[in-house]
Amino acid sequence: MIIPSSGENLDEIMYFEPRIVKILSGMSITWMNRDTKTHRLTSGNADSLLPTEFFHTEDIPGGKSATIRIVSDQPAITYYCSLHPAERGVIAILPNDEDEMTNTQRLQFLDSIVPSLFDNENREIVTRLQRQVDPAIVEYLSNSRAALLRNKILTVVFWDISGFSNLCEKLQGHPELIAEFLREYLGLATRIIHEHGGVVDKFIGDGILSYFCFKENDVDGFVGAENAILAAIILRRRFTDIKNNWLEIWGKIIDSNIDIDIKCGMNTGPVLVGLLRSGERDQFTVIGTHVNLASRMEGRAKEGEIIISSYTKQRVQEKFNTEFIPVSSDDKIKSFEDITEYFKVIDTIS
């Protein structure tokens, strides 16, 4: 842990680095003072200046350090410098090793520490968002210095289930079977997307909008493109198992053929990603031309296909078996009439 230089304005809120340190109860934390001023850390509320009993350090002169062992069953401990109360941080006490936590456990943990994470001006926004957005976004917004809207190269992916409208019509008398199928499918998709560094932007009925390498320093988009394709390939394989299981269940209720499959389209390029605010509704999402092109790629996909733009293809080169698909002169891509090709992913190159 680093105590940074406090600067000239002692009233400006600053955070220790990292702002949120995640530990297991019983672990020790060492703070190194990189400032020329002396600091004294104490657990408690920096706004009210009310300390708590969890820990207090002696004075830490510039260039020196202090180590404290933290034992607590609280999900979070806020602390501040009693000499400079505008400097503050949060100690998050994990219920178990972070690598072993499921995404559900991560979201529950974030819920438990939300009151400790946000300044008053951000708390209302995040409270409205936290039940609607991916845990990675909630964690990102916990940093008050994070840009609420920024340019970043991402691989944007749209998934859809072909034949889903027909399925709903045939099962209109059994909405619970549709709901349970979607719960299983969307849960599987979310896990696979998270495992490959993706963020679930939103569910659109049976559709999914996601983007990859939002948190990572993926300057050229190479990692995000590869991860997105790997996630799509794995989800396509796993969807077959889900589909076959549900076809058996649905077949006992309706006496007609059901034909559904998963398909997706993706594109890689610079987008605007962040928090869009409008009155009573806040939405953390991606916008821009490259998002629209990803949607057009999904529109070109047929049953079971993974369609990628040339922008994504050039970032993965020979890592995947692909099929070149030309765009004919009488079937141009709407709003992208200059694009003359795209690709279908077959599988990884073994």
178-211 pLDDT, tens digit each: 999 999 999 999 999 999 999 999 998 899 999 9
pLDDT band at 349 (very low <50, low <70, confident <90, very high): low
Average pLDDT along the chain? 85
Confidence of residue 107 (pLDDT cuts 50, 70, 90): low
Pick the CATH number of 1-94 from 3.30.365.10, 2.60.40.420, 1.10.8.60, 2.160.10.10: 2.60.40.420
- Identify any residues that bridge with 266 across adjacent strands, giving them in sequence order: 157, 308
Q: What is the pLDDT of residue 121?
A: 46
Amino acid, single-letter form, for residue 315:
R
Alpha-carbon span 54 to 324, nearest angstrom: 62
Picking from 202, 263, 211, 260, the residue whose alpha carbon sits closest to that of residue 232 is: 263
Fold observed for domain 149-348: Alpha-Beta Plaits (3.30.70)
For 231, residues 6+ apart whose C-beta sits below 8 A from its C-beta are 157, 192, 193, 195, 196, 198, 212
Contact 287, 271 (CB under 8 A): yes
Across 65-94, average pLDDT: 87
- Candidate ranges 109-118, 119-128, 220-229; pick with highest mean pLDDT: 220-229
Q: What is the residue extent of each domain of the chain?
A: 1-94, 149-348
Quote the pTM value: 0.65
pLDDT band at 324 (very low <50, low <70, confident <90, very high): very high
